[in-house]
Structure 1
Amino acid sequence: MDLSSELIHALLPIYLVTTMGMSVAAPGWLEGAAEATAMIVKIFSGPVSDWLGKRKPLLVLGYGLAALSKPLFPLASTPATVASARLIDRVGKGIRGAPRDALIADIAPPEIQGACFGLRQSMDTVGAFAGPLAAIILMFWFSDHIRTVLWFAVVPAVIAVALILSGVKEPANASVSRRFRSPLHWRDLREFSRHYWFVVAIGAAFTLTRFSEAFLVLRARQTGMNIAWIPGVMVVMNLTYSVSAYPAGALSDWLDRRILLACGLVLLIAADLVLGASASVITVLPGVALWGLHMGFTQGILAAMVAETAPQTLRGSAFGVFNLASGVCMLLASVVAGWLWDRHGASTMFFAGAALALIPLAMCRFAPRIAKRSR
């Protein structure tokens, strides 16, 4: 599904600005709303999966909605249709996200939980690497005809749903709650530890500092990159993301996860500084590579920290709450980033992101340390 989604995502900012005639700020609004929608929906799907005692039905629904949205992109004649398709795709992501992470936590041996989440993140990103690479090849093959290229995203989406239906098995002894617990209810929120809430706070602060990857694509285009090579930005980012996610996750099973999370934030600051100072394609790509490395060093580790600090019977709810906080912050970050770009330029936007990243970096110093389980 990532191959399908990222094939579209790699071309979407250019599609909106050049084909649909929207402003540069529009992709920021759309991507912020789309990613926020996905994360906010997770707050409902997580508790539902706890209550049902099954994760797979929600995976099928989530991946199915994402697959159904794919034909809408090439068929779109107005920006509203593109926006609707993107939001449907992200609703699907939101429905499947928390149950999928909870299922991994149910299955993963505790002593290698970081490695398991790192592997999942890495495998996700292999698809995200292949999608933009396919977009580059298809753009050259079809002479930059974006609509034709977008049709190719339908095929892997359908295959993904078929694989979910035929290949995913749930553990027979999964620990679940048979009572529906809305994470918005204060009595249920009290069941989460202070360690868990600190992880939520770090995740929210971190998300406020990083905006949509659509701005990386627009930055590359601004420096003169040929439109056919634009998906290469996502190829570079996802390559470094994929290569680093599993080693970082595995390493976090041995080392203090706070240290590796702090390393990821330092990489984000470096990426922002390089992208803010970039004036050519040659300097943009190293910044994009650093951006991918920061994702590899943070996303799987944050997921492992949530699983580690959450009650076993409320893992779906825990991931839902975490993603609600992150979703609100993602929306704010992308909207503000689009406004900064329009009013003060791309460099100011990236430099502001670097400055804000110092906040979650400082928080890592005070985060609670969770004792490692023996191997």
Structure 2
Amino acid sequence: MTQPTPEVPAAARPAIPVTVWMLGFVSLLMDVSSEMINALLPLYLAGGLGASALAIGFIEGLSVAIATVTKFLSGVISDISRRAKPLAVLGYGLGALSRLIFPWAASLDQIVLAKALDRVGKGIRGTPRDAIVAAVSPPEIRGASFGLRKSLDTVGGFVGPLVAVGAMILMAGDIRSVFWIAVLPALLCMIVLVFCVHEPEGLRPARRGGFRLRDALRLNRAVWVVIGLASVIMLARFSEAFVLLKALEAGFTPAWVPLALVIMHAAYGLTAYPVGRLSDRIGGSGLLLCSLGFLIAAHLTLAHAGAIWVYVLGTVLWGLHMGFSQGLLGAMIAAATPDHLKGSAFGTFNLVTGLVVLIGNTLAGWLWQGLGSAAPFLAGAALSVLAMIALAAGLGRSGARRATV
């Protein structure tokens, strides 16, 4: 597990680079667009197109699986070329292009096409974006940098569903019209990325000859420990689409369902940055244990959410889990990986965890359809307990090794 960065006086800590801020705003704008669509898509699939819970779970999982393949390839290409921004522009550009398909989609296969294009874009952009953040951030503020980008990303996750709610009211529940509005923030995202984000010096081609593909496939043990732990967490935390479907059972009307994501992302965004800064001082393992505690509580609460206030509590707990885990995993990968393999490490991390998400989402849909809406959440709680036990055991072994040194 990762060790805390040596304490640096607050006055001596460098400022978070402008590039990190700009990438955060890029993520914010794209997430506004994404969440406007994602907040309503499960309802559109179930109500407008008649898709089952199993189909929704498979579509969500398949879209992540598609993204993981491109995340891995973009990470390797980023390490070979030492150029990250062109891949980021391509990835965000494909995401923006996909926004033009959703309003026209009238069948399940067209939704799959739009989701696939969006996820290919997400797969391409995620790895080079994280590699840029790692390259421009000094080690003593790396957790804060990843936490800040995540926090700005979740501001988009907060604003997007709010815009979706307002648009649904103004458009008299016309989901397709809301999908058209989602095109605008995606276009703004591209403007900021192209004109305000610059390629870091550390990723330019000066070191191209030092890369070997077999090194990308032989990442060190510390990286694989983080990947293994993240895989169990991702298996337990399936798509938020099921959380949104649960909102209808709790008493929400369709126009107000996106508020669930507002609540979730508010909790996520308010915690990601301070948790990232705290991890710079004390390390990430204990904070991940806290995140799993929140996830267990969220699953158990949502499994029995028959009233709105219970459901709201469950979404807050889910958001706290996200805030305590997402930025930390990225910072832990960055800390455990040599500079010339960071792109490949992030790509491998995203590849493995994404395939796990495909399995987890499909399983959640099968459980929902076969055993009822509480079943996937109870299964998620059990898997979260297993992840907590594995993490605690790992901390115990690392503590024993330090005691013998």
TM > 0.5 between the two?
yes
Structure 2 CA distance for partners of 1:317 and 1:113, relative to 1, 3 Å: same
Contact 1:58 1:95 in 2 (8 A): yes
> CA 1:251–1:135 in 2, change beyond 3 Å: closer, same or farther?
same
One-letter identity of the residue aligned with 2:173: D
Query: Matches of 1:79 and 1:174 in 2, distance apart?
Result: 41
Alignment of 1:190-205 (within 5 A): 190=218, 192-205=219-232
Residues in 1 aligned to 2:398 and 2:324: alpha-carbon distance in whole angstroms: 17
Select the residue among 283, 286, 290 that pairs with 2:317.
Answer: 290
Partner of 1:280: 307
Task: Please list, as runs of the form range in 1=range in 2, the aligned pairs for 1:1-375 lying within 5 A after superposition.
Answer: 1-174=30-203, 177-179=207-209, 185=214, 188-190=216-218, 192-365=219-392, 366-367=394-395
**Alpha-carbon displacement from aligned partner over 1:204-249 (angstroms, at most 9, x marks no partner):** 1111111000000000012231111010011111111111100111
Q: What's the offset of the Cα at 1:188?
A: 3.8
TM-score (norm 2): 0.88
Distance 1:180 1:193 in 2: 17
- CA deviation profile, 1:328-356 (whole Å, cap 9, x unmatched): 10000000000000111111211110011
Q: What displacement does 1:179 show?
A: 4.8
Percent identity for Structure 1 against Structure 2: 45
TM-score by length of 1: 0.95
Task: Verify the 8 A CA contact 1:175 1:312 in the aligned structure 2.
Answer: no
Instruction: Report how many residues are paired.
Output: 367
- Answer yes or no: is the 8 Å Cα contact 1:47–1:181 preserved in 2: no
Distance (Å, rounded) in 1 between the aligned partners of 2:160 and 2:342: 31
Structure 2: how far apart are the matches of 1:181 and 1:16? 45
One-letter code aligned to 2:391: C
**Corresponding letter in the other structure for 1:141:** L
Cα deviation, residue 33, structure 1: 1.0
**How much has 1:182 moved relative to structure 2?**
7.6
Q: Secondary structure at the match of 2:282?
A: coil
- Counterpart of 1:254 in 2: which secondary structure? helix
Render the CA deviation track for 1:44-80: whole Å, top value 9, x for unaligned: 0011111111110001100000000001111112111
Determine the C-alpha separation between the residues in 1 that align with 2:210 and 2:42. 39
Q: Distance in 1 between matches of 2:282 and 2:343?
A: 26
Cα deviation digits, residues 55-110 of structure 1 (max 9, x gap): 10001100000000001111112111111101110110000001100110001110
2:23 maps to: none
Structure 1 stretches of 5 or more lacking a match? 371-375
Contact 1:61 1:96 survives alignment (8 Å): yes
Q: Is the 8 A contact 1:258 1:369 kept in 2?
A: no
Paired with 1:76 and 1:18, the residues of 2 have a C-alpha distance of 14
Paired residue type of 1:54:
R
Q: Which amino acid aligns with 2:382?
A: A
Contact 2:216 2:341 in 1 (8 A): no
* Displacement after TM superposition at 1:360 (Å): 1.7
Structure 2 unmatched ranges of 5 or more: 1-29, 400-405
CA-to-aligned-CA distance 1:249-283 (integer Å, 9 cap, x gap): 11101113100011001100000000011112221
Structure 1 residues 171 and 181 mapped into 2: Cα distance closer, same or farther (>3 Å)? closer
Decide whether the 8 Å contact of 2:57 with 2:239 is kept in 1.
Answer: yes
C-alpha separation in 1, matches of 2:102 and 2:210: 36
- Are the equivalent residues in 1 in contact too, given 2:235–2:356 (CA < 8 A)? yes
SS of equivalent to 1:77: coil
Give the Å deviation of 1:181: 5.8
The CA RMSD measured in Å over matched residues stands at 1.6
Does the CA-based 8 Å contact 2:154-2:268 persist in structure 1?
yes
